[in-house]
Amino acid sequence: MTGESATAAQAHTNRLAREKSPYLLQHQFNPVDWQAWGEEAFAEARGENKPIFLSIGYSTCHWCHVMERESFENEELAKFLNEHFVSIKVDREERPDVDRIYMTFVQATTGQGGWPLNVFLTPDLKPFFGGTYFPPDNRQGRPGFLQVLKQVNQLWATRREDLTNSAVQIQARLEEAASNGAATDAQFTPNTIRKAVALLKQSYDPRHGGFGAAPKFPQASQPQLLLRYSKRFNDEEALAMALGTCDRMAVGGIHDQLGGGFARYSVDAEWLVPHFEKMLYDNAQLAQLYLDAYLVSGNKSYATVARDILAYVLRDMTHPDGGFYSAEDADSEGHEGKFYCWTRTELSELLTPGEFEAAARYFGITENGNFIDHSHPQPLTNQNVLSIVEPNLAAADQLLLAAAKHKMFKARSRRTRPRLDDKVLAPWNGLMLGAMARAYAILGDKTYRAAAEKNLRFLQAKLWEPGNGSKTGETSAPRQSTLHHRWRDGERDTVQLLNGYAFLLSGVLDLYEATLGPKHLDFAVALAESMLAKFYDAEKGGFWQSAADARDIILRVKEDSDGAEPSGNSIAILSLFRLGGITGLKEFIEAAEKSLCFFGNRLVDTPQAVPCMLQALDFWLSEPRRVVVAGAPAKPESRALLHAIHSVYQPNKLVLGKSGAIEAFAKKLPVEKKPAVYVCTGTACQPPTNDPAKIRELLK
């Protein structure tokens, strides 16, 4: 709910008031008779033979807020919607499978997509018309929303059969597009990766870093692929592009220079002016990227950025019991960026003259500013987004700058914070769990290990439902383990999605390799087995986004694009390769290989669209180094050896201990009096060593 409507809120309370999603709850007081996605709404549409108006967004979506203010709080528009349509709101972060189906339709029919996503459906959920943001009246070539509603209603009244037939044909085309015909003849070689990197290099921005033009998204999987490529092919150009992108993002306004963390994207090519919302999934992936950049380069500034991201998450985005929250809004007090920006006058009044001079030079503070807020009828002016303009201040000025930053952060903390989306999502938590675990392994800070293990306990308690297994003599079928997608305010949902299983599996493997805790490996195996049972297409390969028993979607999709988030298939494939290499369980490796082959056409024809899946391919094309730590993991000597192992950039290595569900060859390796490390290729191992320098040499 937005500002002016607060006093009138009690006059309209719709059925979204029952929900847990912060996004849906934002709309609970709209005069639109919103319903949640589910059988109650579907039955009403069928019973009254009304079309469904489906509106999809998320809590930190700026244009979703705009359309709410302009249209969904408008009494006239709401009255028309309530009379002629069944209106459904969906949080895309809770139901990415629903979003994917209808986003594909809108992109195919309009040539563009985005949020809010607004689609008109038949009562049996088939789409026939849609778009993104509609203004309240005709504006800049866009039809007004009320005009759209009246036209759709007129068509439904006079040409319903045509619309229904068209919707049936559209669904058939969507099903065909979703089938992802298997590429059994795909030939995978290192040249597949070469082709992808060549295309990535063509889109590189040599001036500002990153790929393509404005707006720019910090898609971590792209520079991560370049880092892997530079390692495999000794390509200095690829390395320079990856590190250059990290450098430019780190000094830009997209990076919160006071509070840490990164915004979702920048509206310009220079990474200067962000779209201020912060997403957990971005920050998890970027923490991993900056850890990799640190390992590759040895430059401690990258480690500092990684620490900065994780400090922000632990301070502002963590539930007291250990779950990680989803996002923070771009807006506060109705203005985009108000929480983050500064005027020159404001800073001059807050700081001493010396502090102000140092801060103004460092951050490039000007009288006119570099950002104008256009999100409000009365925009804020002369606003400065903080970016690092003059990094090399003299030592005395650095001290003044540190004092200035302390005062600025303290003053900013007294401002009205952007709205927090405090739901806990399994996939995004899996990504951040992995980032925390690797940060502990690489940087040695026990804070990160504690956060990772606390997070895993939270997820296991709140979202994981263990199966009852299969026991001899039981007559009832065993119940499979279940990972629910969302928890909030004491309640979990009933949704199961591939991304939750795959991303959490990846994070748990990172935690296992950082700690060698056998219970973490056992849980990884349980996750993988459940993922295969629920989502794997054993006939053709690949993983469905939704479970087979999902009854509220018109088709199942195998996601095959790595965007702001990696696809569930990419992470599932790489994770199964890793888990299979650690445990020696062939069913994991075979499922990963078959799935990689299923997406062969995608990898060969448009490899630039799947940078994460290419990392899985890179793993498959390599013989991974298997590093076995023989000795109790809890001992200080073992921890020192683990940190030595993780101090080397070797993305295709596997780290395992001597206990738990590990591969048989590792169990047979002799244990020395002191903890020692075996570096193995296949099952052929170098003599054991407990010399950290020797370990690093063997891994390089």
- The string of pLDDT tens digits covering residues 549-603 is 888 999 999 998 999 999 999 999 999 999 999 999 999 999 999 999 999 989 9
CA 501 to chain centre: 14
Mean pLDDT, all residues of the chain: 93
Residues 141 and 287 in one domain: no
Would you place residue 470 in the very low, low, confident or very high pLDDT band (cuts 50, 70, 90)? very low
Q: What is the pLDDT at residue 378?
A: 84
Residue 616 C-beta-side C-alpha neighbours within 13 Å = 33
Token pair 């002629």 is at which residue? 84
Residues 131 and 197 in one domain: no
Omega before residue 218 within 30° of 0, cis: no
Residue 36, domain CATH: 3.40.30.10
Q: What is the pLDDT at residue 478?
A: 64
Residues 143 and 228 in one domain: no
Please indicate, yes or no, if residue 233 is contained in any of the structural domains. Answer: yes
Return the structure tokens found at 668. Answer: 């047979």
pLDDT in tens, 354-408: 999 999 999 999 999 999 887 777 888 999 999 999 999 999 999 999 999 999 9
What are the residue ranges of helices labelled H in 556-689?
568-583, 586-598, 600-605, 611-621, 636-646, 664-667
Burial class (CB in 10 A: 0-12, 13-18, 19+), 538: exposed
Instruction: Report percent pLDDT > 70 for the chain.
Output: 96
| Angle at which helices 446-462 and 426-443 cross, to 10° | 160
Q: What is the pLDDT at residue 591?
A: 98
Please indicate, yes or no, if residue 385 is contained in any of the structural domains. Answer: yes
Q: What is the pLDDT at residue 177?
A: 78
Residues 259 and 364 in one domain: yes
CA distance 617 to 626: 18
Q: What is the pLDDT at residue 241?
A: 98
CA distance 366 to 565: 36
Residue 444 has pLDDT above 60, yes or no: yes
User: 355 with 308: CB under 8 angstroms?
Assistant: no
Residue 472 has pLDDT above 50, yes or no: no
Please indicate, yes or no, if residue 539 is contained in any of the structural domains. Answer: no
Residues 673 and 697 in one domain: yes
Which structural domain range is residue 38 located in? Answer: 3-178
User: 679 with 699: CB under 8 angstroms?
Assistant: yes
Q: What is the pLDDT at residue 182?
A: 53
Of the ranges 68-72, 365-369, 603-607, which one carries the lowest mean pLDDT score?
603-607
Residue 648, domain CATH: 3.40.30
The arithmetic mean of pLDDT across residues 247-259, rounded, is 98
Residue 325 has pLDDT above 80, yes or no: yes
Residue 471 has pLDDT above 50, yes or no: no
Please indicate, yes or no, if residue 552 is contained in any of the structural domains. Answer: no
Which of 420, 438, 470 marks a domain boundary? 420
Strands 335-336 and 327-328: unpaired
Residue 590 C-beta-side C-alpha neighbours within 13 Å = 9
Q: What is the pLDDT at residue 475?
A: 46
Residue 474 has pLDDT above 50, yes or no: no
Residue 8 has pLDDT above 80, yes or no: no
Of the ranges 50-64, 134-148, 294-308, which one carries the lowest mean pLDDT score?
134-148
Please indicate, yes or no, if residue 492 is contained in any of the structural domains. Answer: no
CA distance 121 to 107: 16
Residues 401 and 254 in one domain: yes
Provide the β-strand partners of residue 15. Answer: none
CA 548 to chain centre: 24
CA distance 60 to 685: 51
Residue 2 has pLDDT above 50, yes or no: no
Q: Compute how many other C-beta atoms are within 10 angstroms of the C-beta atom of residue 314.
A: 17
Which of 389, 420, 451 marks a domain boundary? 420
Task: Work out whether the CA dihedral 516, 520, 526, 527 comes out positive or negative.
Answer: negative
Omega before residue 215 within 30° of 0, cis: yes
Q: What is the pLDDT at residue 10?
A: 57
Please indicate, yes or no, if residue 493 is contained in any of the structural domains. Answer: no
Please indicate, yes or no, if residue 684 is contained in any of the structural domains. Answer: yes
Which of 139, 156, 178 marks a domain boundary? 178
Residue 6 has pLDDT above 50, yes or no: no
The arithmetic mean of pLDDT across residues 153-168, rounded, is 95
Q: What is the pLDDT at residue 178?
A: 76
CA distance 59 to 326: 10
Please indicate, yes or no, if residue 517 is contained in any of the structural domains. Answer: no
Domain total in the chain: 3
The one-letter amino acid at 38: G
Does residue 233 come out as left (phi exceeding 0), alpha (psi in the -120 to 50 range) or beta? alpha
590 contacts: CB under 8 Å, gap ≥ 6: none
Nearest CA-CA partner of 505 in 487, 486, 480, 532: 532
Residues 171 and 194 in one domain: no
Would you place residue 612 in the very low, low, confident or very high pLDDT band (cuts 50, 70, 90)? very high
Would you place residue 473 in the very low, low, confident or very high pLDDT band (cuts 50, 70, 90)? very low
Across 465-504, b (16+ Cβ under 10 Å) vs e yields eeeeeeeeeeeeeeebbbbbbbbbeeebbebbbbbbbbbb
Residues 82 and 228 in one domain: no
pLDDT in tens, 619-665: 999 988 999 999 888 888 889 999 999 999 999 999 999 888 898 88
The one-letter amino acid at 146: L
Considering only the C-alpha atoms of the chain, give the largest distance between any 2 of them, rounded to a whole number of Å: 85
Residues 134 and 221 in one domain: no
Q: What is the pLDDT at residue 632?
A: 84
pLDDT in tens, 25-68: 999 999 999 999 999 999 999 999 999 999 999 999 988 999 99
pLDDT in tens, 668-691: 898 878 899 999 998 899 999 999
Q: What is the pLDDT at residue 477?
A: 56
Residues 221 and 280 in one domain: yes
Residue 526 has pLDDT above 90, yes or no: yes
641 contacts: CB under 8 Å, gap ≥ 6: 629, 631, 675, 676, 677, 690, 692, 695
Residues 229 and 343 in one domain: yes
Return the structure tokens found at 219. Answer: 């898609």
Provide the β-strand partners of residue 680. Answer: 626, 685
Residues 256 and 112 in one domain: no
Provide φ and ψ at 605, rounded to 5°: -85, -40
Residue 138 has pLDDT above 80, yes or no: yes
